[in-house]
Amino acid sequence: MMDATKYQIGYYPPPVEPGHVYEWMQKDHIETAPAWCSVDLRDGNQSLVVPMSLEEKLEFYEMLLKIGFKEIEVGFPAASETEYEFLRKLIDEDRIPQDVTIQVLTQCRDHIIRRTFEAVKGAPRAIIHFYNSTSEAQRREVFHKSREEIKQIAVDGAKLIKELSREYEGNFLFEYSPESFTGTEPEYAVEVCNAVLDVMQPTPDRPMIINLPVTVEMSMPHIYANQIEWCSKHLKYRDAVVLSTHPHNDRGCGVADAELAVLAGAQRVECCLFGNGERTGNVDAITLAMNMYSHGVDPKLDFSDMPAICEVYERVTRMHVYERSPYAGSLVFAAFSGSHQDAIAKGMTYRKEHHQHRWDCPY
């Protein structure tokens, strides 16, 4: 028999504020696509049994550009020589389009930050994404540090990044993540983010990204939406902040987390094609984008040639697109039930006879 007493709720709902009513609950669908950032070349790649080679990463990168991603996290250059070389190749060979921003990841550690700036110097436009873990469990079990000590790590990292951004050649934007946000008290997460914002001093014409990740999925999606909306209302410099989300899929609700987070105020989503990523994966960019498309909302990503995308993905990652994966699986257009087949045939006939532009075919 499984022993459920080993487990308990590990997340922290937002503080109760008398009279507050969550606004996201009043919305029934997403009306405008968020900004998209592909993390396939970082989170997706590091989770592969056999990581992509330099040539395979280049092919995947070119596919992401063709799909329409305008922000692409290309790696953690201070942690991997392959990722360092890949980043330098993009910059030195002028492979970054003018309307695309690359993103690099770094921990809030002095030598890693310095190595990151060495790797990204000369980039036409780059997001420096820095992070440190803030969760109660990480503070207690991993770092053995107090709230103030953990916050100081974030502040010191921000100060060094701001200093180096003035010294190195390049056009730099900034992103901060309180890693393990879902296991962090929301009021403390906001305290840390606001301390970082005070250092970086973003402006509406030079905004900063604050990313509140589902590093480990710990709650039902509506709890995460509550956390996002509460934090959105308590962040300083809010008109100069792009609120971002980075959902993982540990409880199988990554897509719902992202969709409700957007309803709750998130303006940006970090994601992977087909939900590749650590453990059960990052949130699936294809499902998210096509869900919007099915509601008549342009996701600003082009998945019109799904077979070609599947072919490249399967070949360079050595992963398999499940046959019933939403929108892309080989069986998603197959109906085996006779009543389903009959309804589809009649629906297609109806569309033809009535010259319908709008799609409403049964099944």
Local structure of 53: helix, strand or coil: coil
Is pTM, for the whole model, over 0.85? yes
Q: What is the dihedral of CA 14, 18, 19, 23, to 10 degrees?
A: -10
First to last CA, the chain: 40
Local structure of 358: helix, strand or coil: coil
- Cα–Cα distances in angstroms (integers) from residue 48 to residues 41, 226, 286, in the given order: 10, 33, 19
User: What's the confidence (pLDDT) of residue 313?
Assistant: 98
What are the pLDDT tens digits along the chain (363 aa)? 899 999 999 999 999 988 889 999 999 999 999 999 999 999 999 999 999 999 999 999 999 999 999 999 999 999 888 899 999 999 999 999 999 999 999 999 999 999 999 999 999 999 999 999 999 999 999 999 999 999 999 999 999 999 999 999 889 999 999 999 999 999 999 999 999 999 999 999 999 999 999 999 999 999 999 999 999 999 999 999 999 999 999 999 999 999 999 999 999 999 999 999 999 999 999 999 999 999 999 999 999 999 999 999 999 999 999 999 999 999 999 999 999 999 999 999 999 999 999 998 898
User: How far apart are alpha carbons 324 and 200 in whole angstroms?
Assistant: 45
User: What's the confidence (pLDDT) of residue 169?
Assistant: 82
Query: What sign for the dihedral angle of Cα 40, 46, 48, 50?
Result: positive
**Dihedrals φ, ψ of 148, to 5°?**
-65, -40
Which residues, at least 6 apart from 200, have a Cβ–Cβ distance to it below 8 Å?
158, 162, 174, 176, 208
The CA-CA-CA angle for residues 13, 14, 19, to 5°, reads 120
Residue reference for tokens 């395979």: 56
Yes or no: say if 104 and 77 are a contact pair by the CB < 8 Å rule: yes
User: How far apart are alpha carbons 44 and 307 in whole angstroms?
Assistant: 20
Yes or no: say if 123 and 96 are a contact pair by the CB < 8 Å rule: yes
